[in-house]
Amino acid sequence: MKRLLTPLAAACLLAGNPLSLHASPYSSLVVFGDSLSDAGWTSDADGPRRFTNRVGPTYQAGEAYGPVAPMLLGGQLGLGAEGLAAANAGGNNWAVGGYRTDQILDSVNNEYLAPNAFQADPSALYYLTGGGNDFLQLRINPLLPYEQATVQAREAAGRLVDSVEALQQAGARYIMVWLLPDVGKTPAISNTPLAGGVSLLGADFNDELVKQLSTVNAEVIPLNVPLMLSEVLESPGSYGLASDLTTQQLIGTCFDDCSSENPAYGLNGTNPDPTKLLFNDGVHPTITGQRLIADYAYSLLSAPWEISLLPEMAHGTLRSHQDQLRAQWQADWEAWQAVGQFRSFVNAGGQRQSYDAFGGDADGNGYSLNLGGSYRLNDAWRVGLAAGLYEQDLEVDHTESDYNLRSYLATAFAQYQQNRWWGELAASVGYLDYDDLKRQFDLGPATRSEKGDTDGDLWSLSGRVGYDIAQSPDSQWHLSPFVSADYARVEVDGYAEDGQRSSALNYGDQTRTSKRLGVGLQGLFDLSQQTRLFGEVAMEREYEDDATDVDMSLRSLPTIGYTLEGYTPDDKTWRASVGVSHRLAEGVAVRGAYIYRDADDSDQHGINLSLSWDL
Q: Which residues belong to the active site?
A: 35, 281, 284
The answer for residues whose C-beta is within 8 angstroms of residue 564's C-beta and 6 or more apart is 174, 219, 221, 301, 303, 304, 549, 550, 552
Residue type, 239: Y
Distances from the Cα of 107 to the Cαs of 157, 219, 318, 465, 488, in angstroms? 16, 21, 52, 63, 49
Angle between helices 225-234 and 287-307 (to 10 degrees): 110
> What whole-number distance in Å separates Cα of residue 297 and Cα of residue 596?
37
Q: Ramachandran region of residue 98, left (φ > 0), alpha (ψ -120 to 50) or beta?
A: left
Q: Ramachandran region of residue 117, left (φ > 0), alpha (ψ -120 to 50) or beta?
A: left
The string of DSSP letters for 249-291 reads HHHH-BSSSSTTB-TTTSTTSSS--GGG-SBSSSS-B-HHHHH
Q: Which long-range contacts (CB under 8 A, 24 or more apart) does 366-369 make?
A: 366/316, 366/317, 366/320, 366/390, 366/391, 366/392, 366/393, 367/391, 368/317, 368/320, 368/321, 368/324, 368/608
Residue 480: how many CA atoms within 13 Å on its side-chain side? 27
Q: Which long-range contacts (CB under 8 A, 24 or more apart) does 65-68 make?
A: 65/10, 65/40, 66/10, 66/14, 66/286, 66/287, 66/290, 67/7, 67/8, 67/10, 67/11, 67/14, 67/39, 67/287, 67/290, 68/36, 68/37, 68/38, 68/39, 68/290
Distances from the Cα of 529 to the Cαs of 526, 584, 587, in angstroms? 7, 11, 13
